[in-house]
Structure formats: structure tokens, C-alpha cells
């Protein structure tokens, strides 16, 4: 998956309409592509409106649905593969083992949160049965 310099608003990949910038290679300081553009005020408003339009339905969704989303995100991170690590090495100068560890930490946290949602522990529901002998 190549870096495209785009953002996602309401499910669509779009280029920003604001100021442009480029990442820099941590080792050489050279600019690397692609060019990115910041979001315009109209694009920010569109992103906020899109988020607002689904916020309540997402909040009302079943924990299992939210768990599915977290699992899909973790799979998407892994699917990017080595391209993510290579780009991160270039931009940060961090060593491959550190970045691979960070990627797996992130993936495992997403999976852990998904499992937590599926188990229902987050709701804090406790049923304490009374001891009939204490009446």
C-alpha cells in the first residue's frame, strides 16, 4: 500500500485543500514524498459533520460490533506489512525491531480491547447474591 498523501473524510480518500508539506528522512534530512496538504476549514467541517452523523448510532451499537471494528483495524495495520515499517524507519530513524515491536503492541492492544468488549467486563456489572444466613 503506497503512501498517497490523502486523508479519509466520510469514508472517501481525499486530498487536503490547505497548505502543503512533506515528510523528511530522519537520516538525511531530505524531503520525501508524497506531498501532503492540510485540511481546509470546509474539509474539517465535513469531517466533523460526518462523525457527528454516525456518533449516536455507533454509541448505541452492540459491543460485539465495536469489537469487530477494532479487530478490523488491527488486521488492516498488519496488512500494510513491511511498507509501514520501512516508512516509519525513514521518517523516525528508529530501528526496525523497535518499530515492529510498536506495531505489534498497537495490534495487541486493539485485540485486547476487542476481547474486553466481547467479555462485557467494561460494563462493571456485578451480581452479589445475598447470604441467606445473614438475614
Compute the average pLDDT of residues 42-50.
97
Residue 121 confidence (pLDDT) above 80: no
- pTM, two decimals, is 0.81
- 33 closest CA partner among 22, 44, 18: 22
Q: Is-contact 16 40, C-beta < 8 A?
A: yes
pLDDT digits (tens, 9 = 90+) for 64-90: 999 999 999 999 999 999 999 999 999
Lookup result for grid cell 480518500: 13
Compute the average pLDDT of residues 14-33.
95
Amino acid at each position: 500500500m503506497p503512501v498517497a498523501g490523502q486523508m479519509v473524510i466520510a469514508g472517501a480518500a481525499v486530498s487536503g485543500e490547505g497548505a502543503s508539506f512533506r515528510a523528511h528522512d530522519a537520516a538525511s534530512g531530505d524531503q520525501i514524498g508524497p506531498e501532503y496538504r492540510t485540511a481546509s476549514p470546509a474539509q474539517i467541517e465535513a469531517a466533523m459533520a460526518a462523525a457527528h452523523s454516525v456518533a449516536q448510532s455507533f454509541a448505541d451499537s452492540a459491543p460485539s460490533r465495536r469489537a469487530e471494528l477494532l479487530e478490523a483495524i488491527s488486521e488492516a495495520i498488519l496488512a500494510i506489512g513491511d511498507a509501514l515499517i520501512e516508512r516509519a524507519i525513514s521518517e523516525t530513524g528508529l530501528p526496525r525491531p523497535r518499530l515492529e515491536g510498536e506495531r505489534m503492541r498497537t495490534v495487541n492492544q486493539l485485540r485486547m480491547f476487542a476481547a474486553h468488549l466481547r467479555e462485557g467486563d467494561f460494563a462493571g456489572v456485578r451480581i452479589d447474591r445475598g447470604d441467606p444466613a445473614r438475614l
